[in-house]
Amino acid sequence: MTASHMSERPSLDERLNRPLSIGGKPVANRLWLAPMAGLGHIAYRRLLDEYGGCGLMFTEMCSAKAVPTENRTVSPVFRWRDEELPRLVCQIVGATPEELIPAARRVEDEGFFGIDINMGCSASGVVKRNSGAALLKDPVAALAAVEAVRKEVSIPLFVKFRTGWTPDVGPAVALAQQFEAAGVDCLVFHPRVAPDKRTRPPAIDHIRVIKEAVSIPVFGNGDVVLPEECLSMLDKTGCDGVSIGRMAMARPWLFAEWTAGFEPSASAFRDYALRLADLLDHYYDPIRALKRYRLFTIYFAANFKYGHSLQTRFLGAKSMADIRAVADEHIKPGMPLTRRPNMNMYSI
């Protein structure tokens, strides 16, 4: 490529800020928060909104069986702020139309931007119930679930799914085409086999194969850490946007960085650690707040060259007051950072 052609290549922020609509509804940009169990909760999403730059946020994985009767003021997962609903998608997990339809109706009635059916989670407890990634083993059941939900609701419908249970992308391509025909508005694709707990790199080219097979938007997901990797995924796969998971927990300001040129302050990591503690205290009881903070520390501590030591201190905390004390004492401006967080520390 010549220098003149390289200069014409759109920058990352230009790519991410291109207009986009999903199911006829406009979306702010093409960089989204991936759904993450135990992590994408109401407290974290409020903090993320304070930084800005995220086009769509997804809830934690919500049980379709539980959603119809959940009380949003006490539920740990089916919980939200009214002001985030115009840019919030609720992810539901279930096995059958009978489970999914009542949940989908409730999600639409509450005013969410859209519904996402989880076909990517391979946790044993989910798979044993024939939901999540287990649906990829049964394309007939997967399609029946999508068709049933599509007939019941008019808001945008998403499916988050993986390559399947073998490395062959062919079945995923066939499903993607069936999902489009059934009225799905957007696919979020994680190019790994379901049993793979991120021990191998994602097969990024599979995103291109899925994108070329359908005409609806396809978002790529999987190990995007640095801005150049985000741009590379967009360039190499032709995907319509990128869904960020674990890096969103490590550095929540990356959405504003990559879409609007935000620059974090010298105290950004300490401020983040303390603000999340405050918000968890606000929304959850002390036991649940502490449990969720501990989950977050895996990703947060991975930012630092001596992250194992910091995480050990956080995990030794017995209360949220202890958490704040660790943050105050041990997170300082100028601490040695890693450009890429230490992926070996990530447990999920």
| 160: Cα separation from own chain's centroid | 10
Question: The dihedral of CA 179, 184, 186, 189: what is its sign?
Answer: negative
The secondary structure of residue 78, as a DSSP letter, is S
List the catalytic residues. Answer: 121
- As a whole number, mean pLDDT of residues 208-225 equals 96
DSSP string, 315-346: HT--SHHHHHHHHHHH--TT--B-SS--GGG-
pLDDT tens digits, one per residue of 325-348: 999 999 999 899 998 887 766 644
> Do residues 31 and 16 lie in contact, with contact meaning Cβ atoms separated by under 8 Å?
yes
Residue 274 has pLDDT above 80, yes or no: yes
Calculate the CA dihedral of residues 310, 250, 121, 171 and round it to 10 degrees: -130
Q: Where are the domains of the chain?
A: 3-260, 268-345
The secondary structure of residue 69, as a DSSP letter, is G
CATH, domain range 3-260: 3.20.20.70
The better pLDDT of the pair 273, 3 is held by 273
The percent of residues in the chain predicted with pLDDT above 90, rounded, is 89
Model pLDDT, residue 195: 76
Model pLDDT, residue 197: 66
Model pLDDT, residue 334: 87
Residue 60: its H or E element: strand 57-63
Model pLDDT, residue 327: 95
Model pLDDT, residue 348: 40
- 46, 94, 110, 348 from 74: Cα distances, Å: 17, 21, 16, 26
pTM of the predicted protein model: 0.94
Model pLDDT, residue 346: 63
Q: Which residue has the tokens 């949003």?
A: 72
Distance between CA atoms of 297 and 273, rounded to whole angstroms?
A: 9
pLDDT tens digits, one per residue of 116-145: 999 999 888 999 999 999 999 999 999 999
pLDDT tens digits, one per residue of 19-77: 999 999 999 999 999 999 999 999 999 999 999 999 999 999 999 999 999 999 999 99
The average confidence (pLDDT) of the chain is 94
Closest CA to 28 of 295, 236, 255, 338: 255
- As a whole number, mean pLDDT of residues 245-260 equals 96
